[in-house]
Amino acid sequence: MIKKTKKAVLVSMLILALLASVSMVIPKEIRANENTRIFIMFRSEGRGHEVDWDDEDMQRILTNEEILDELKKRCEGVEFIGKTDPVNVESAVKALNQEKNIDGIVVFGPPPDELIKTGLPIITVFRMWQTWMASFQFKEYKGKKILFDCVPMVRDADKTVFSLRMAGLSKKIKLIQAISKMRNLRALVITDKPVLGAYEGGSGEYEKIFLDNLSEIFGTELVTTPIEELFDKIQEIDSQKAEEVTNMLIDGAYAIKNTNKTQIIESAKVYLAMKELMEKYDCNSITGEGYGVYRNYKKGVIPSQGLASSQLATDGIIAPSETLINSLLTQAIVYYITGRPGFNGDYIIDPFLDIAIIGHCECAFNPYGDERRSDYTIRNMPFRKKNEGGACVQVDLPLNETVTVLKMSMYDKKIAIFTGKTVSGRKLFEEWDDVSCRTKLAIKANTKALLNNSDRGTFANHRVVFYGDFREDIENLATLIGFEIVEEDK
């Protein structure tokens, strides 16, 4: 259920004010204020078969300048490098080589081999009616980082159609923008293991290939610190600040079950400690081993990270538990594309009910990424006694909504995807709220295909859920970064 009450809005405002007062980490890309830099190349004036038109007729042609102006209006934060005057391949290559930090290329016309060889993501645009399509070698573009689009040399008869056409091209450009933002993602990994952590990580050759791919594709930095530093930082957190955060979280909660204010304060300290460590290491994302590792930590029990990760995600900070780096990267890139937080959790397929289930003890309170909030109950951790071990959350996520379920494999350069519709788990299982993870989501999907295509060797045991149908966006993203898309429901 999504709250829209005045009380909920007020509580959200108070929480935001409070979080600002406790040194909220500002995402690095906002501090740096770096634009995405797109090299743009026009191979012609966009004119062709209209030689018999008079001067008045020629006014109907959509000029390169008009196209670029349309894109600039729609692509905030994107800097287009290049001229609207037509250029030949040699001149374009020379101009591109003189630029630094180019994130992608838009070519109006067939993309030259010299630009394809740069390895940059490319959007090639066909100027319909200027010429025929024979010069576009679509078969040769397969397997390359090239997306196709089409803009006619005259406007569509229906202004709405033309607007949607330009919006579609802008959307592809914004995928390049999202990719470019990943280079400013700096994630703090709290672990005593190698950088990829205990749950989904690896070492040796696996780690090397994973990190090499990450550096090449996104340029994202992973910074490690031992669990001991988090443990010690928690002890230093001011109890009054933790209580203030706790009071705000309690005021916004639908209910509290099997935990108490003392335990919520303990998890609020984890939240504040993680924020301080992010600031110390100049990071804008964070993940820790969490749960079982923290419960058995050698220096003493570390309270549940569930509540901390939930509030961080609501703040707009990517913060999955269990050092799930692939999940973190999946959450980050889709957040940059959609502005929506992802719900990361363990993955179950029930072919009898034809549902997939995602469950974890953490989840953002704002699944749409805006002011709307889901009801949440603050609870004890599963497998723990009442009033022990800190607190986590049970978020009542929206039902009867289309969702996109994803998982990236940086090692294999693949993205798993399926879509479905959320249904009520409480109507399916009597003890839905109290078995296993606290936050769970049932998704009606093609489970026969999911079972047939299940590949836990590549994608492990977690998936990330996003509210909305983003299949086409993710397929286009996969093309631009050179990943294989695995449609698990087909």
143-195: per-residue pLDDT in tens? 999 999 999 988 888 999 999 999 999 999 999 999 999 999 999 999 999 99
CATH of 34-181, one of 3.40.50.2300, 1.10.287.3240, 3.90.1530.10, 1.10.287.90: 3.40.50.2300
Predicted confidence (pLDDT) per residue in 4-57, tens digit: 444 454 444 455 444 444 433 434 433 344 799 999 999 987 665 555 566 665
Predicted confidence (pLDDT) per residue in 78-92, tens digit: 999 999 999 999 999
Examine the pLDDT at 282 and tell me if it is beyond 50: yes
pTM for this one?
0.92
Measured CA distances, 16 to 13, 21, 22, 238 (Å): 5, 9, 10, 19
> pLDDT above 90 covers what percent of the chain?
80
pLDDT recorded at residue 22 = 40
Q: What is the mean pLDDT of residues 278-292?
A: 94
Q: What is the mean pLDDT of residues 278-286?
A: 98
Q: Are 419 and 405 in contact (CB under 8 A)?
A: yes
Q: Residue 231: how many CB atoms within 10 A of its CB?
A: 18
pLDDT recorded at residue 200 = 81
Q: In the chain, what are the domain boundaries? A: 2-30+185-487, 34-181
pLDDT recorded at residue 361 = 95
pLDDT recorded at residue 26 = 39
* The dihedral formed by the CA atoms of 146, 149, 152 and 155, expressed in degrees to the nearest 10: -140
For the purposes of burial, counting CB atoms within 10 Å of the CB of 195, is it exposed (0-12), middle (13-18) or buried (19 or more)?
A: middle
Residue 320 carries which side chain, given as an amino acid letter?
P
Residue 36 to residue 129: CA distance in whole angstroms? 31
Token pair for 259:
């935990």
Predicted confidence (pLDDT) per residue in 366-380, tens digit: 999 999 999 999 999
Residue 33 to residue 35: CA distance in whole angstroms? 7
pLDDT recorded at residue 396 = 98
Q: What is the 3-state secondary structure (H, E, C) of the chain?
A: CEECCHHHHHHHHHHHHHHHHCCCCCCHHHHHCCCEEEEEEECCCCCCCCCCCCHHHHCCECCHHHHHHHHHHHCCCEEEECCCCCCCHHHHHHHHHCCCCCCEEEEECCCCHHHHCCCCCEEEEECECCECCCCCCHHHHCCCCEEEEECCCECCCCHHHHHHHHHHHHHHHHHHHHHHHHHHCEEEEECCCCCCCCCCCCCHHHHHHHHHHHHHHCCCEEEEECHHHHHHHHHHCCHHHHHHHHHHHHHHCCEEECCCHHHHHHHHHHHHHHHHHHHHCCCCEEEECCHHHHHCCCCCCCCCCHHHHHHHHHHCCCCCECCCHHHHHHHHHHHHHHCCCCEEEEEEEECCCCEEEEEECCCCCCCCCCCCEECEEEECCCCCCCCCCCCEEEECCCCCCEEEEEEEECCCCEEEEEEEEEECCCCCCCCCCCCCCCEEEEEECCHHHHHHHCCHHHHCCEEEEEECCCHHHHHHHHHHHCCEEEECCC
Q: What is the mean pLDDT of residues 399-419?
A: 98
What pLDDT band is residue 398 in, cutting at 50, 70 and 90?
very high
pLDDT recorded at residue 177 = 98
Examine the pLDDT at 348 and tell me if it is beyond 80: yes
Q: Which residues contact 329 (CB under 8 A, 6 or more apart)?
A: 182, 214, 218, 220, 408, 410
Residue 123 to residue 116: CA distance in whole angstroms? 10
* Averaged confidence pLDDT in the chain: 91
Q: What is the mean pLDDT of residues 459-469?
A: 97
